[in-house]
Structure 1
Amino acid sequence: MQSTIGSRAFQNARMQKKNRKQADGLLPQAVTAYRGGRHADAQAVCGQILALVPDHFEALHLLGASALDSGRLDLAEQALTRAVAVEPRNAEAQANLGLVLSSMKRYEEARAAQERAIALKPNFATALTGLGNTFMNMRLFEQAIEAHDRAIAVKPDFADAYCNRGMAQLLLLRNEEARQSFERALALAPRHMQATFGKGLVSINLRHFDQALAAFNAALAMKPGTAAVIAQRGRLYIQMGRFKEAEADFDAALATDPMLEAALLGKAHVCVLTERIAPAMAACQRVLEHNPASEIALVWLGACFAKQGDTATAIQHFDRALEIKPDFEDAIMKKIFALDFYPEADVAVHQAVRREWWDRIGAHIPQRQLASVDRDAGRRITIGYVSSDFRSHSAALTFLPVLRHHDHGAFEVICYSCSPLVDSVTDQCKAVADGWVDSWQLSDDELADRIQSDQVDILVDLSGHSAGNRLTVFARKPAPIQVTAWGNATGTGLPTMDYFFSDPVTVLPAVRPLFAEQVYDLPALITTDPLPGAQPTPLPMLRNGYVTFGVFNRIDKISDHVLAVWSALLRALPDARVVIKNGALDDTFLRDGLISRFVAHGIGESRLTCMGASMRQEHIAAFADIDISLDPFPQNGGVSTWESLQAGVPVVAKLGNSSASRAGGAIVKAIGLDDWVAEDDDGYIAIALRHAAQPAELARVRAELPARVANSAAGNVETYTRKVEEGYRQFWRRYCAEAG
């Protein structure tokens, strides 16, 4: 028996020795294939070796490295896990296992493997910078930079470590440090694609968009078809207002990598901007299936719900994003904007979330040291207007009349335009300004520098928390006096903002202490120019035999609350019709969703007319078919309210419990139509029913309205502008007195 056992052991040993010799002979073939980039061949040969010697460390290690390089992460993990089990003290295998685990987003396990590699080999530069990347993915940015610095200390000419450090610095918004890291990487390796890409990302952060585009194009010239770079170029194109090129880049990136998060998020972004909500939601949901903690996907999905009027669900998504990333500015701003549409939110809630923006974002921005100024209270005052909407945008309709009628003897007017989009309205704004600064490619600090260089006395924000705002510039306080007005005038929550233009109805005295700014009353929150060439039109119900209500507002203003009220009104007038006009209704998904909401309240589709985008002249002409306009709530109309009144169509409004829900009623009251403004839902319906039953009186009001608007302090733009200038002069005198 013993001799038989001994013989068998001898034969097994001979077989193992033979297999080992054969396996070792195959290994050079695998290495050659790997070095030649022939991963399929390398992996096949490694498979042959492992069939002969299952614990062949070199083959396991090579198989893992090849599988990692070719994106076969499951195979890479299996091979490298076996490799480190065979030789647990091999630092290179531990480091490669860490790379695989990090690529699989298993960051804690990756960190452990990389730290084991460094413990075995303390001066292992590749493992150190790999650990830094893992820390970065874990949002441990300071630890990431420390690990990259250790790698650089070990290997001062390590271009990858400089580049990786730059990426971590970028995420901390340490843009100048990041730029220097990328420059150092490129000095060591001039064709370092990732460092070139990093320079593009820095340029985006600094709003140097032309430089960013040049960097991304250079990176793609080095490595054509790189999906991550293409996706970031798409993001850049969005910021440059080039939406078609942006979407083409996102589609190209997704063709290469269908689950690339940056490309899916970019696709969602551009679809929201172009009012295509269904594909935007689909892109967000694909991201969240694989990464439920994607704060960006949550924000864009929230934006999709907001577009449909589902404000409560939108806010839930923004809150979830803020739980993940408390200083995520886009989430805070979208929440601020959405709460203006939320029926349960009052002034206290609105101002609290604006203070939240300050606490999370603005308070961390250093304020400027102001130079001494000429404190002559009667001198010419320099006014600086900051906006991304000096173009065909509803906001421009509210501030262009003021720009046009300024007294340039008393006020120097400088406009800081923060958008790449220009059109005929831009030309009109330029024509009435004393100075014009294209600011869309200036960083916040560069814009603040320019404002101080221009010696602006009163800096005016025309955006509030709406898209394209530069409130982070206002947080720096580059001017002695700062005012928020018109474009999205609901208060900012910034202690650095001194005044807020409003009116006595929009912001009641009792709630004014809740605002960060001091409220200054104008005849109305906003005004607009008279309608060009508008002529009185006959009352449509005289020829139709029924009343036609109009809603020429954004459809996300149509809350469930107001839709229920309108539906009750329509049920009380079975022959009545309603026309809803907004560019978003060109999106079939949104249009069908809105119609279905009415149908759910018992209002037949035949009673609804949905109209999409049109030129402004056609938009105004459509009021000729409207008898009475219905103001939505809680987010009222602004420009749409003025347009309706100027066209001779009175507006039924209701006063709510927030600035956003009182603005429409304030405009209607400002021209003396107090009996068209209700205090509650029943009153709103009663007003509409009463006037619908009096066609002769309605026709009289229609004929008189344009003149009534033109003769009011709120509707006469020259009178309104004088009131604005009285405010500026009062602010300046007060500042001079306080400074003295």
Structure 2
Amino acid sequence: MSSTIGSRAFQNARLQKKNRKQADGLLPKAVEAYRAGRHADAQAICGQVLSLVPDHFDALHLLGASALDSGRLDLAEQALTSAIAVEPRNAEALANLGLVLFSLKRYEEARAVQERAIALKPNFVTALTSLGNTLMNMQLFAQAIEVHDRAIALKPDFADAYCNRGMAQLLLLRNQEARQSFDRALALAPRHMQATFGKGLVSVNLRHLEQALAAFNAALAMKPGTAAIVAQRGRLYVQMGRFDEAEADFDAALATDPALEAALLGKAHVCVLTERIAPAMLACKRVLEQNPASEVALIWLGTCLAKQGDTAGAIQHFDRALEIKPDFEDAILKKIFALDFYPGADVAVHQAVRREWWERIGAHIPQRQLAAIDRDPERRITVGYVSSDFRSHSAALTFLPVLRHHDHAAFKVICYSCSPLVDSVTEQCKAAADGWVDAAQLSDDELADRIQADQVDVLVDLSGHSAGNRLTVFARKPAPIQVTAWGNATGTGLPTMDYFFADPVTVPLAVRPLFAEQVYDLPALITTDPLPDAQPTPLPMLRNGYVTFGIFNRVDKISDEVLTVWSALMQALPEARIVIKNGALEDPFLRDGLIARFAAFGIGEGRVTCLGASMRHEHIAAFADVDISLDPFPQNGGVSTWESLQAGVPVVAKLGNSAASRAGGAIVKAIGLDDWVAEDDEGYVTIALKHAGQPAALAQLRAELPARVAGSAAGNVVTYTRKVEEGYRQFWRRYCAAGS
């Protein structure tokens, strides 16, 4: 018996020796295939080796490395884990397993394995810089930079380490240091694709968009079709306003990598900007399925909900994004904007969230030291206007009249245009200014430098917290006096903002202590130019036999609360019709959803007409079919209210409990139509019913309204501008007196 066992053991040993010899003979072929990039062959040969010797370390290690390089991460993890079980102290295998776990986004596990590799081999520079990348993805940026520095100290000519350090510096917004790191990497390896890409990202952070585009194109020339870079170029095209090219890049990136988060988010972004809500929501949901903690997907999905009128759902998404990333500025801005549409929010809530922006973002920005200034209280004042909306945008309609009618003997006007988009309105703004600065590609510090160099006395924000704002420049306080006005005039919450142009109705005295700024009253919060070539039109109800109400406002201003009121009104007037006009109604998803909402409130589809985008003269002409306009709430109309009044169509409004919900009523009161402004829902319906029942009086008012608007201090743009200038002069005199 013992001889039989001994014989078998001897035979097994001979077989193992034979298998080992055969396996060792096969392994060089696997290595050759691997080095030639023939991963399928390399992996097949490794499989043959392992069928002969299952614990062959070199075959397991090579199989894992090949599987990693070819994207077969599950196989790579399995092979490398087995290799480490055979040789637990092999630093190279541990480092490769760390790369696999990193690729699988299992960063804690990757970090542990990489630290084991470095403990075994302290001078292992590639493992060090790989650990740095892992730490960066764990948001441990300072630690990541420290590890990359260790790698560089060990190997000063290691281009990858410089590049990787630059990426970590970039995420800390240490842009100049990041650029230096990328430049060093490129000095060592001129065709280093990732370093070229990194320089593009630095340029994006600095708003140097053309430089960024050149860098991304150069990186793609080195490695064509790299999905991550194509997607980033798409995001850059969005910033440049080149939406078609952006979407083409996102689609190309997704064709290569259908799950690429950056491309899906970019697709969502561009679809939102082009009013295509259904595909935007689909892209967001795909991201959240694979990454539930994507704060960017959450804000774009929230934006989609807001555009459909679901403000509460939108705010929940923005809050969730802020739980994940408390200093996520875009989430705070979108929450600020959404709360203006939320019925449960009053002035205190609105100003509290604006202070939140300051505490999370603005307070961390160093303020400028101002140079000595000529404090002559009566000298010519230099006024600087900062906006991304010197173009065909509703905001431009509110400040272009002031630009046009400034007294240039007393005021030097400089416009800082922060958008790459230009059109005929841009040319009108430029013609009205004494100085024009294309600031779209200036970083915040560069723009602040320019404002200081221009010796601006009064710097005016025309955006508030709306898209394209440069409040981070105003946080730096590059001018002695700073004012927020017109474009999104609801207060900023910035202690560095001195004044806020409003009016006594929009911001009553009782709530003014809640604002960071000192409120200065104008005849109205905003004004607009008279309508060009507007001709009086007859009252439609005289020919139709029923009243037609008009709502020429953003779709997202139509809240459930206002639908309740409009439903009561329409029930009281069974023959009445409603016309809704807004560019977003070109999107069938939004249009059908809005009609369904009206139907749910008892206003049938046959009584609702939806009109989409049109040229402005066609937009104004559509008021000819409207008897009475209905102001939405809690977010009122602004420009749309003025347009309606100038076209002869009076507006029913209601005063709410925030600046956003009082602006419409303030405009209506400013031209003397106090009896068209309600204090509550019941009053709103009563006013509409009263005037709908008096067609003769309504026709007379229609004929008189344009002249009444033009004769009011709020509607006469020359008078209005003089009031603005009185404000600037008063601010300047106060400043001079305080410093004397």
Q: TM-score, normalised by structure 2?
A: 1.00
Give 3-state SS (helix, strand or coil) of 1:653's partner: strand
The residue that corresponds to 1:554 in the other structure is 554
Alpha-carbon separation, structure 1, partners of 2:567 and 2:137: 51
The residue that corresponds to 1:566 in the other structure is 566
Counterpart check, 1:266 vs 2:266: yes
Alpha-carbon separation, structure 2, partners of 1:583 and 1:567: 23
Deviation per residue, 1:526-575 (Å, 9 max, x gap): 00000000011000000000000000000000011111111121111110
Counterpart check, 1:488 vs 2:488: yes
The residue that corresponds to 1:684 in the other structure is 684
- Structure 2 letter corresponding to 1:357: W
1:150-229 matches, within 5 Å, as 150-229=150-229
- Structure 2 letter corresponding to 1:288: L
Give 3-state SS (helix, strand or coil) of 1:603's partner: coil
Alpha-carbon separation, structure 2, partners of 1:274 and 1:202: 27
Q: How many angstroms does 1:265 deviate by?
A: 0.4
The residue that corresponds to 1:281 in the other structure is 281
The residue that corresponds to 2:528 in the other structure is 528
- Structure 2 letter corresponding to 1:561: E
Q: How many angstroms does 1:149 deviate by?
A: 0.7
Q: Which runs of 4+ in 1 moved over 4 A?
A: none
Alpha-carbon separation, structure 2, partners of 1:723 and 1:713: 9
Counterpart check, 1:580 vs 2:580: yes
- Structure 2 letter corresponding to 1:229: I
Deviation per residue, 1:5-28 (Å, 9 max, x gap): 111111111111111111111111
Give 3-state SS (helix, strand or coil) of 1:379's partner: coil
Alpha-carbon separation, structure 2, partners of 1:103 and 1:112: 15
Q: How many angstroms does 1:327 deviate by?
A: 0.4
Give 3-state SS (helix, strand or coil) of 2:377's partner: coil
The residue that corresponds to 1:378 in the other structure is 378
Give 3-state SS (helix, strand or coil) of 2:173's partner: coil
Q: Gaps spanning 5+ residues in structure 2: where?
A: none
- Structure 1 letter corresponding to 2:495: P
Counterpart check, 1:541 vs 2:541: yes
The residue that corresponds to 1:457 in the other structure is 457
Q: Give the length in aligned residue pairs.
A: 740
Counterpart check, 1:346 vs 2:346: yes
- Structure 2 letter corresponding to 1:717: V
1:414-433 matches, within 5 Å, as 414-433=414-433
Give 3-state SS (helix, strand or coil) of 1:63's partner: helix
The residue that corresponds to 1:294 in the other structure is 294
Alpha-carbon separation, structure 2, partners of 1:467 and 1:651: 28
The residue that corresponds to 1:517 in the other structure is 517
Alpha-carbon separation, structure 1, partners of 2:682 and 2:190: 72
Deviation per residue, 1:135-167 (Å, 9 max, x gap): 111111111111111111111111111101111
Alpha-carbon separation, structure 2, partners of 1:603 and 1:721: 43
The residue that corresponds to 1:311 in the other structure is 311
Alpha-carbon separation, structure 1, partners of 2:13 and 2:5: 12
- Structure 2 letter corresponding to 1:530: P
Give 3-state SS (helix, strand or coil) of 1:633's partner: coil
Counterpart check, 1:739 vs 2:739: yes
The residue that corresponds to 1:727 in the other structure is 727
Alpha-carbon separation, structure 2, partners of 1:120 and 1:369: 52
Deviation per residue, 1:448-477 (Å, 9 max, x gap): 000000000000000000000000000000
The residue that corresponds to 1:715 in the other structure is 715
Alpha-carbon separation, structure 2, partners of 1:161 and 1:303: 39
- Structure 1 letter corresponding to 2:71: G
Q: Gaps spanning 5+ residues in structure 1: where?
A: none
- Structure 2 letter corresponding to 1:623: F
Deviation per residue, 1:386-417 (Å, 9 max, x gap): 00000000000000000000000000000000
Give 3-state SS (helix, strand or coil) of 2:293's partner: coil
Counterpart check, 1:605 vs 2:605: yes
The residue that corresponds to 2:501 in the other structure is 501
Alpha-carbon separation, structure 2, partners of 1:337 and 1:14: 78
Deviation per residue, 1:645-664 (Å, 9 max, x gap): 00000000000000000000
Alpha-carbon separation, structure 1, partners of 2:672 and 2:649: 14
Alpha-carbon separation, structure 1, partners of 2:258 and 2:396: 40
Give 3-state SS (helix, strand or coil) of 1:527's partner: coil
Alpha-carbon separation, structure 2, partners of 1:157 and 1:89: 28
Give 3-state SS (helix, strand or coil) of 2:448's partner: helix
1:246-257 matches, within 5 Å, as 246-257=246-257
The residue that corresponds to 1:472 in the other structure is 472
Alpha-carbon separation, structure 1, partners of 2:66 and 2:493: 55
Deviation per residue, 1:161-211 (Å, 9 max, x gap): 110111111111110010000000000000000000000000000000010
1:426-441 matches, within 5 Å, as 426-441=426-441
Alpha-carbon separation, structure 2, partners of 1:511 and 1:469: 25
- Structure 1 letter corresponding to 2:611: M
Deviation per residue, 1:434-455 (Å, 9 max, x gap): 0000000000000000000000
Q: How many angstroms does 1:602 deviate by?
A: 1.7
Alpha-carbon separation, structure 2, partners of 1:5 and 1:224: 63
Deviation per residue, 1:243-265 (Å, 9 max, x gap): 00000000000000000000000
The residue that corresponds to 1:703 in the other structure is 703
Q: How many angstroms does 1:730 deviate by?
A: 0.1
Give 3-state SS (helix, strand or coil) of 2:629's partner: strand
- Structure 2 letter corresponding to 1:684: Y
Give 3-state SS (helix, strand or coil) of 1:233's partner: helix
Alpha-carbon separation, structure 2, partners of 1:614 and 1:567: 28
1:16-415 matches, within 5 Å, as 16-415=16-415
- Structure 1 letter corresponding to 2:604: G
Q: How many angstroms does 1:320 deviate by?
A: 0.5
Q: Aligned Cα RMSD in Å? A: 0.5
Alpha-carbon separation, structure 1, partners of 2:199 and 2:299: 27
Deviates more, 1:145-154 or 1:517-526: 145-154
- Structure 2 letter corresponding to 1:189: A
Alpha-carbon separation, structure 2, partners of 1:598 and 1:187: 64
Alpha-carbon separation, structure 2, partners of 1:570 and 1:241: 41
Alpha-carbon separation, structure 2, partners of 1:271 and 1:435: 35
Alpha-carbon separation, structure 2, partners of 1:480 and 1:270: 38
Deviation per residue, 1:705-726 (Å, 9 max, x gap): 0010000000000000000000
Alpha-carbon separation, structure 2, partners of 1:589 and 1:225: 33
